[in-house]
Structure 1
Amino acid sequence: MKQIVANMAGTIINVLVNEGDEVRSGADVVMLESMKMEVPVAAETSGRVTAIKVNVGDFVNEGDVLIELEG
């Protein structure tokens, strides 16, 4: 199982994928707000979204798991 993690601390302002979606490496999957800037989080590998671990409004720390991928 592959995981997409937060690259910095911030608040989730948008989740751009749904469970079951296929994502490609480099595709933006989550938008964070950090230091009043919108920061995209991209998938590092391709796969199918099996679990979304965050909701809009959640605060995450660097390294927290945002999304799990399979494949």
Structure 2
Amino acid sequence: MAEKIEAEIVANVLKVVAHEGQSLAQGDTVVLLESMKMEIPVVTEAAGTLTKIAVKEGDVVQEHDLIAVVE
């Protein structure tokens, strides 16, 4: 089952850490967000393969925007 990783807050995409096709363990960081001068790591809830990155560095995400998909 696919895990859709969504933004929890409005933030800037500071850095994309993982790449499509990469195997991820539970808790691995996918992207770093920046909001109010704080860096916020976005991590996976389950192990799997990163099949889609929906953001790039410099993007602004809104609450519930898709960031990535892990299958």
The corresponding residue for 1:57 is 58
The corresponding residue for 1:68 is 69
User: Tell me, what secondary structure is at the counterpart of 2:67?
Assistant: strand
TM-score scaled to structure 1, two decimals?
0.90
TM-score scaled to structure 2, two decimals?
0.90
Structure 1 counterpart of 2:59, one-letter code: D
Output the CA distance in 2 between the equivalents of 1:28 and 1:52.
Answer: 13
* Superposed CA RMSD: 0.9
The corresponding residue for 2:22 is 21
The corresponding residue for 1:8 is 9
Aligned pair count reads 70
Output the CA distance in 1 between the equivalents of 2:69 and 2:4.
Answer: 5
Shift of 1:36: 1.2
Stretches of 4+ aligned residues off by more than 4 angstroms: none
Output the CA distance in 2 between the equivalents of 1:3 and 1:61.
Answer: 15
Unmatched runs of 5 consecutive residues or more in structure 2: none
User: Tell me, what secondary structure is at the counterpart of 2:46?
Assistant: coil
Task: Indicate conservation of the 8 Å contact 1:3/1:67, yes or no.
Answer: yes
Output the CA distance in 2 between the equivalents of 1:28 and 1:61.
Answer: 19
The corresponding residue for 2:36 is 35
The corresponding residue for 1:44 is 45
Output the CA distance in 2 between the equivalents of 1:62 and 1:25.
Answer: 22
